[in-house]
Amino acid sequence: MLVRIPNVLTPEEVAQVRQIVEAAAWVDGRVTAGEQAGKAKLNLQIPENSPAARQAGEIILRGLGRNPVFNSATLPFRVLPPMFNRYDAGMTFGAHVDGAIRAIPGTSIRMRADISCTLFLTPPEDYDGGELVIDDVYGSHSAKLPAGDMIVYPATSLHHVTPITRGCRWSSFFWTQSMVKDDGRRTLLYDLDAAIIRTRQSLPDDHPGVLGLTATYHNLLRHWAEI
């Protein structure tokens, strides 16, 4: 399931994050890539344990916490602290699949990467190229979103970033471990949650149809969730 989530950050928060990361030190992005992905990766990153990454990441985590679409689409159990990358002219990231297990910095905790998340920090008119292209059974899907918008997609997906030909692309990326690891089941729950919201707009909350749909949602979540 691919879901575009608009306005995860306000324009003011985007500006605040940009100010923090623009003053940070950058390193070769291959430091966080596995052997296979490292051969395809050409970008820059902020070290994930740096004060700048933590400060900017906290702003993003607050945005995620208040965003109902993110919580409905991902059903998060754990969210890896956000990281930050930059693609200058000529930089790219070839086709790859994200690693299955990630270590949470500063802890002994490991998490399963169920969902990949990319939050755009640069207006699309500021650069050419740099599209995030995600492949699934229905074909290739290209994302180049306004600053503050995010796309989430299964971490099992083959994906790549097209070469930058003008300007510079900044973004935050991270992974989420869902309470429901199966993407098909998450999709069903997301669609059911959206149907409940639409139904509640035309019927009172205590209507038997609303109560029945809500009960079904929570009973499915209870059956499928792993916590």
Are 173 and 197 in the same domain? no
Are 91 and 201 in the same domain? no
**Closest CA relative to residue 126, chosen from 164, 78, 179:** 164
Say which residues have a Cβ less than 8 Å from residue 2's Cβ, sequence separation at least 6.
Answer: 134, 136, 141, 151, 152, 153
Output the pLDDT for position 178: 98
**Residue 174 φ/ψ, nearest 5 degrees:** -170, 175
Give me 8's structure tokens.
């995860």
Q: CA–CA separation, 132 vs 157, rounded Å? A: 12
Output the pLDDT for position 37: 60
User: Do 161 and 88 touch, CB atoms closer than 8 A?
Assistant: no
The domain of 161 spans 3-178
Q: Helices (DSSP H) in the chain: which residue ranges?
A: 11-22, 35-38, 51-65, 68-74, 183-200, 208-224
Number of domains in the chain: 2
Are 133 and 148 in the same domain? yes
pLDDT at 39 over 90: no
**Closest CA relative to residue 170, chosen from 56, 39, 10:** 56
Output the pLDDT for position 153: 98
pLDDT tens track for 192-222: 999 999 999 999 999 999 999 999 999 999 9
Of 29-33, 64-68, 125-129, 180-184, the range with the lowest mean pLDDT is 29-33
Which residue type, as a one-letter code, is found at position 141? H
Q: CA–CA separation, 161 vs 147, rounded Å? A: 17
Are 162 and 210 in the same domain? no
Q: What would the mean pLDDT of 112-134 be, rounded to a whole number?
A: 98
pLDDT at 34 over 60: no
Q: CA–CA separation, 117 vs 70, rounded Å? A: 10
pLDDT at 38 over 90: no
Residue-averaged pLDDT of the chain? 95
Give me 184's structure tokens.
């098909």
Are 52 and 73 in the same domain? yes
Q: CA–CA separation, 26 vs 23, rounded Å? A: 9
Q: CA–CA separation, 35 vs 116, rounded Å? A: 19
Distance of CA 179 to the CA centre of its chain: 16
Which pLDDT band holds residue 56 (cuts at 50, 70, 90)?
very high
Are 89 and 189 in the same domain? no
Q: What would the mean pLDDT of 2-12 be, rounded to a whole number?
A: 98
Are 152 and 137 in the same domain? yes
Are 203 and 161 in the same domain? no
Residue 84, beta-bridge partner list: 172
**CATH number where 197 lies:** 4.10.860
Query: For the chain, how long is the longest CA-to-CA vector?
Result: 58
Give me 48's structure tokens.
């994930």
pLDDT tens track for 139-175: 999 999 999 999 999 999 999 999 999 999 999 999 9
How many of the other CB atoms lie within 10 Å of CB of 218? 12
How many of the other CB atoms lie within 10 Å of CB of 94? 14
Output the pLDDT for position 40: 83
Q: What would the mean pLDDT of 18-32 be, rounded to a whole number?
A: 89
Q: CA–CA separation, 137 vs 196, rounded Å? A: 28
